[in-house]
Amino acid sequence: MNTLLPAFSGYGIELEYMIVDRKSLSIMPIADKLLHKLSGKYVSEVAHGRLAWSNEIVLHLIELKNSNPEPVIESLPLYSRAKFDASMVSLNFWAQG
């Protein structure tokens, strides 16, 4: 979406996930490596259609969010269970692979 929205008229959701080892549950500080595998370069955010993966603070935290504010909350792609599940499968593949 390239249309500018007035202040407080757009919606966004960020779901934050801690990256941990599947067996020990120890944190895995690899968010930068995951984003590098997905994009081919070191970046803080990788867009995938209307969704994006990003890392802001610590390397064991990654978030899934909508790339741009949406004028109608029901239009957020995060409400599409299939898209969300596919994103999680992709991230788990890269983290454990």
H helices present in 1-97, as ranges: 31-39, 81-96
pLDDT tens by residue, 73-82: 877 765 566 7
What letter represents residue 4's amino acid?
L
Query: For residue range 22-47, what is the model confidence (pLDDT) as tens digits?
Result: 889 999 999 999 899 888 999 999 98
**Average pLDDT of the chain, as a whole number:** 83
Whole-number pLDDT of residue 2: 61
CA-angle at 6, arms to 4 and 12, nearest 5° = 80
Residue 17 has phi, psi (to 5 degrees) of -125, 135
CA atoms within 13 A on the CB side of 23: 1
Token pair for 42: 């070191």
